[in-house]
Amino acid sequence: MHNAALARLAAEHPRLAGWEYFRFDIAPSDLARALGLFWGLGFRGINLTVPHKVLAVGMVASVDAFARGAGAVNTLQRSDGGWSGFNTDGYGLAQAVREDLGLGLRGARVVVLGAGGAARGAAAECLRSGCAGLWIANRTPERALALVADLAPLAGAIAVHAVDPAAGPFPEGAIIVNATSAGLRAEDPAPARLAGFRRPAAVFDMVYNPPSTRLLDEARALGIPGAHGLGMLAHQGAKALEIWTGVPAAATSGTMRAAAAKALGYRAANGSD
């Protein structure tokens, strides 16, 4: 995805001609050492996925205000003193919800399923966008309550609730966002049963492979609009590339989404596939 965008950009920006994106599998216990090695080797930027997003916050030289409020970083940029941390997950979510569901987060009631690194970025973005209310639903109540407490500085007057994903209570007409890993495997149960919700406005599942999950299957059966996470993947990646290169995310997100869809064997690069 990133290499497809870089290949296209190289023709317009010769300074990017030698740039290349690599994938590494790093154990959590090796993360601190790996970050030091990558910086020493001259890497310009790093993306992090679970479980590294929360772990890395305390391992980098600086964290921007939004990522610090979220308590998670997924993008690192090289600086003279070490790594600077950012969170582009929230941007990716907002863009994908607008693009694939035709909805905005401002003024919306939002239920975020999960309390990990991805949920933190999503929740922080909902608050930054001016949502009407935010509900954090997690199977472990302590983690949900901890996230609510961490979000307090960002929330201001916006009410943030910790609820049980099996019992609620949930608001009517909410956007449901799955920020858990449930759905990555075919045998995974849904992170929540939509039948227990008061009629949602839409369901957004961050899982992008496979393109349909039990949560989205249930939404489809109930006639609730739904979208998988490919759009979020592309938009957050494009925003990371903007941080590293200065090229606006809007210039590369389409290329990145098409490349990801092709690699995954999707029939089309849209959220309804």
Write the single-letter amino acid at 117. Answer: G
Burial 4-39 (b: 16+ CB within 10 A, else e): bbbebbeeeeeebeebebeeeebeeeebeeebeebb
Which CATH number does the domain 2-88+242-264 belong to among 3.30.70.100, 3.40.50.1820, 3.40.50.10860, 1.10.357.10?
3.40.50.10860
Between 51 and 237, the more confident residue is 237
> What CATH superfamily classification does 90-230 receive?
NAD(P)-binding Rossmann-like Domain (3.40.50.720)
The conformation of residue 80, written as its DSSP 8-state character, comes to T
Longest dimension (CA), the chain: 55
pLDDT at 273: 47
pLDDT at 50: 86
CA dihedral 97, 217, 181, 95 (to 10 degrees): -10
C-alpha 49: how far from its chain's center?
9
Average per-residue pLDDT in the chain? 94
Choose the catalytic residue: 53, 68, 235, 257: 53
Give the H/E segment covering residue 241: helix 230-245
Q: Judge contact between 28 and 46, C-beta under 8 A.
A: no
Q: In the chain, which segments carry CATH 3.40.50.720?
A: 90-230
Q: How confident is the model at residue 272 (pLDDT cuts 50, 70, 90)?
A: very low
Q: For residue range 90-125, what is the model confidence (pLDDT) as tens digits?
A: 999 999 999 999 999 999 999 999 999 999 999 999
- How many residues would you count in the chain? 273
Of the chain, the percentage scoring pLDDT greater than 70 comes to: 97
Q: In the chain, which segments carry CATH 3.40.50.10860?
A: 2-88+242-264
pLDDT at 267: 65
| Residue 12 pLDDT greater than 60, yes or no | yes
Q: For residue range 172-228, what is the model confidence (pLDDT) as tens digits?
A: 999 999 999 998 888 899 999 998 899 999 999 999 999 899 999 999 999 999 999
Q: How confident is the model at residue 167 (pLDDT cuts 50, 70, 90)?
A: confident
Active site residue 53: yes
Specify the pTM: 0.94
| Residue 268 pLDDT greater than 80, yes or no | no
